[in-house]
């Protein structure tokens, strides 16, 4: 309650005092709605739409402000995900490979401006001008089939004498092969396997006990199984895909808690020299540095990378100016991990998150689905829509297929890929126009 003394304030100052009180109340209310409640509200729509299953962690100044897991690490045994569940992090592996290379440089074992052929003498002549730095920054110009990795005893890197797609350093093109070659360099220079080097020089010093290399042979406690959003419900994602093929470009596993240790260790200066950390986080082309994208997002400096393997998606962003870390690991393939990361980061910055782009499947009868059937001609290709069970099967003239599911009587979406279709009727009430949305682009086709 206000006491009588407040009535003695001059009339001119009372509005200012009142404003201060109002602002304090609003600030308190805002803080009350801040993490973790607001962060939980960000994630829930994706869970409700069955578009996300996995673990999420948000930290500020090294302290966890939100950590929660959703769905199952193993659906067959009904084992839930947790903050120590181990997920394949796919292409997020690349930042560890980059750090390993820079550690070798810090120790005087290698220079990033060395030519690759100094260490891999069997590489073709087209590789003559490719440096280690070109591989780190995806600017080498090698194509994805310029070499082939064969895991085994011994592991092999078999070169194909393919011309470069561009001269080293001139352009940017993302390639897993470049990081596989870097893994070979780490092994050749260190005398250890890639896994041994990363374990002894990164994971162990930073206390990352839930991180390692994927393997079908090794028993890995608390390893999540990977799942795929199938045409008739969730399926096991195992397609006899050998996770070792990703090697130093995509075969590590980790947990949300371990990845926070990584972020704090790397950006806290516990691993690399200041010069090497600066090199690792300085973009060269297309916002890409060494194993990391670095750019400003909504006014904040963001250092980020995602990953996508069969059964797993991942995304991790660090905002060094505010020391905010956001980690999203999924064991159900989908399209939302990156969007979730941005939304959680917005709330951590006390900013409004974007509206979630969730798609909820509805049921349409076979009779209704047959109205969409037919061939649709687009400017550079055609596709056929075929009714199948509870969805449409898109048959591309290139030979590929894609199942899309109804979210309304005109809109359909893909569960594992960021692709949507929208049908429109002509003056006779027949579906004759089809719009395809993908990667921010819209294409229009007409029914033949």
Percent of the chain having pLDDT more than 90? Answer: 82
Helix (H, G, I), strand (E, B) or coil at 273: coil
Distance CA 86, CA 88 (A): 7
Average pLDDT of span 386-413: 94
Residue 269's pLDDT is what? 96
Q: What is the CATH number of domain 366-447?
A: 2.40.128
pLDDT at 234 over 80: yes
Report the first-to-last Cα separation within the chain, whole angstroms.
76
Residue 154's pLDDT is what? 79
Q: Token pair of 74, please?
A: 């193993």
Count Cβ atoms below 10 Å from residue 230 Cβ, excluding itself.
Answer: 13
Delimit the domains of the chain by residue range: 38-348, 366-447
Residue 16's pLDDT is what? 46
Q: Token pair of 279, please?
A: 């090199």
Residue 245's pLDDT is what? 64
Count Cβ atoms below 10 Å from residue 65 Cβ, excluding itself.
Answer: 17
Distance CA 432, CA 314 (A): 38
366-447 and 38-348 share a CATH fold: no
Average pLDDT of span 256-269: 98
Residue 153's pLDDT is what? 77
Distance CA 190, CA 183 (A): 11
- HSE of 424, CA atoms in CB hemisphere, 13 A: 9
Distance CA 371, CA 349 (A): 47
Count Cβ atoms below 10 Å from residue 2 Cβ, excluding itself.
Answer: 7
pLDDT at 184 over 90: yes
User: pLDDT tier at 244 (50, 70, 90 boundaries)?
Assistant: low
Beta strands per DSSP E along 160-267: 212-213, 227-230, 233-236, 252-254
Q: What residues pair up with 416 in beta bridges, in sequence order?
A: none
Residue 291's pLDDT is what? 98
Count Cβ atoms below 10 Å from residue 144 Cβ, excluding itself.
Answer: 14
Bond before 154 cis per omega within 30 degrees:
yes
Q: What angle in degrees, to the nearest 10, is found between the helix axes of 337-348 and 37-48?
A: 160
Q: What pTM did the predictor assign? A: 0.87
pLDDT at 5 over 60: no
Got the DSSP string for 47-65? HHTT---EEEEEEETTEEE
Phi, psi of 256 (to 5 degrees): -65, -40
Distance CA 423, CA 229 (A): 23
CB 335 within 8 Å of CB 416: yes
CATH entry, 38-348, from 3.40.50.1820, 3.40.50.720, 3.30.70.3400, 3.40.710.10: 3.40.710.10
CA 308 from chain center: how many Å?
A: 6
Average pLDDT of span 187-192: 94
The residue whose two tokens read 């009714």 is 387
pLDDT at 420 over 70: yes
The H helix count followed by the E strand count for the chain is 11, 23
CB 134 within 8 Å of CB 172: no
The whole-chain average pLDDT of the chain stands at: 90
Distance CA 295, CA 145 (A): 30
Distance CA 332, CA 272 (A): 34
Residues in Cβ contact with 176 at an 8 Å cutoff, skipping those fewer than 6 apart:
91, 144, 246, 249, 250
Burial 376-399 (b: 16+ CB within 10 A, else e): beeeeeebbbbbeebbbebbeeee
pLDDT tens-digit readout, 271-326? 999 999 999 999 999 999 999 999 999 999 999 999 999 999 999 999 999 999 99
DSSP H helices in 75-231: 93-106, 132-136, 176-190, 194-198
Helix (H, G, I), strand (E, B) or coil at 392: strand
CB 47 within 8 Å of CB 332: no
User: pLDDT tier at 241 (50, 70, 90 boundaries)?
Assistant: low
Q: Are strands 374-377 and 324-330 parallel, antiparallel or unpaired?
A: unpaired
pLDDT tens-digit readout, 192-220? 999 999 999 999 999 999 999 998 788 99
Residue 398's pLDDT is what? 86
pLDDT at 188 over 70: yes
pLDDT tens-digit readout, 20-41? 444 443 443 444 445 789 999 9
Distance CA 317, CA 301 (A): 10
pLDDT at 52 over 50: yes
Distance CA 286, CA 155 (A): 32
DSSP H helices in 7-126: 14-32, 37-48, 93-106
Q: Token pair of 20, please?
A: 């201060």
Sort 234 into a burial class: Cβ within 10 Å, 0-12 / 13-18 / 19+.
middle
């Amino acid at each position: 309650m206000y006491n009588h003394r407040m009535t003695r304030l001059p009339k001119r100052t009372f509005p200012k005092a009142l404003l201060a009180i109002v602002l304090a109340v609003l600030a308190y209310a805002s803080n009350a709605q801040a993490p973790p409640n607001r962060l939980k509200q960000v994630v829930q729509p994706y869970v409700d739409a069955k578009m996300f299953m996995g673990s999420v962690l948000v930290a500020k100044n090294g302290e966890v402000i939100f950590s929660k897991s959703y769905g199952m690490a193993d659906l067959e045994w009904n084992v839930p995900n947790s903050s120590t569940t181990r997920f394949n992090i796919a292409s997020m592996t690349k930042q560890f490979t980059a750090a390993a290379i820079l550690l070798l440089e810090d120790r005087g074992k290698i220079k990033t401006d060395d030519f690759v052929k100094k260490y891999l003498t069997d590489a073709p002549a087209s590789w003559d001008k490719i440096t280690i730095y070109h591989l780190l920054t995806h600017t080498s110009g090698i194509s994805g089939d310029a070499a082939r990795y064969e895991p085994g005893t011994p592991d092999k890197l078999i070169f194909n004498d393919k011309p470069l797609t561009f001269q080293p350093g001139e352009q940017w093109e993302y390639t897993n092969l470049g990081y596989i070659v870097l893994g070979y360099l780490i092994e050749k220079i260190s005398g250890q396997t890639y896994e041994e080097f990363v374990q002894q020089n990164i994971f162990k010093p930073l206390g990352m006990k839930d991180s390692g290399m994927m393997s079908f042979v090794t028993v890995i406690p608390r390893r999540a199984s990977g799942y795929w959003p199938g045409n008739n419900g969730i399926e096991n994602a195992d397609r006899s895909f050998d996770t070792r093929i990703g090697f130093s470009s995509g075969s590590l596993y980790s947990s949300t808690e371990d990845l926070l240790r990584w972020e704090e260790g790397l950006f806290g200066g516990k691993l690399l020299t200041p010069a090497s950390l600066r090199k690792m986080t300085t973009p060269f082309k297309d916002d890409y540095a060494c194993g990391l994208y670095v750019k400003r997002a909504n006014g904040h400096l963001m250092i980020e990378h995602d990953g996508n393997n069969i059964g797993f998606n991942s995304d991790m962003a660090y905002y060094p100016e505010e020391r905010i870390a956001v980690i999203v690991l999924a064991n159900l393939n989908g399209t939302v991990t990156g969007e979730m990361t941005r939304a959680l980061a917005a709330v951590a910055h006390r900013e409004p998150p974007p509206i979630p782009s969730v798609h909820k499947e509805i049921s349409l009868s076979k009779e209704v689905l047959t109205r969409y059937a037919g061939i649709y001609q687009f400017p550079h290709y055609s596709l056929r829509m075929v009714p199948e069970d509870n969805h449409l099967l898109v048959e591309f003239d290139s030979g590929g297929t894609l199942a899309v599911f109804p979210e309304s009587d005109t809109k359909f979406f893909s569960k594992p890929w960021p692709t949507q279709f929208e049908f429109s009727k002509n003056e006779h009430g027949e579906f004759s126009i089809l719009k395809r949305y993908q990667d921010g682009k819209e294409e229009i086709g007409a029914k033949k």
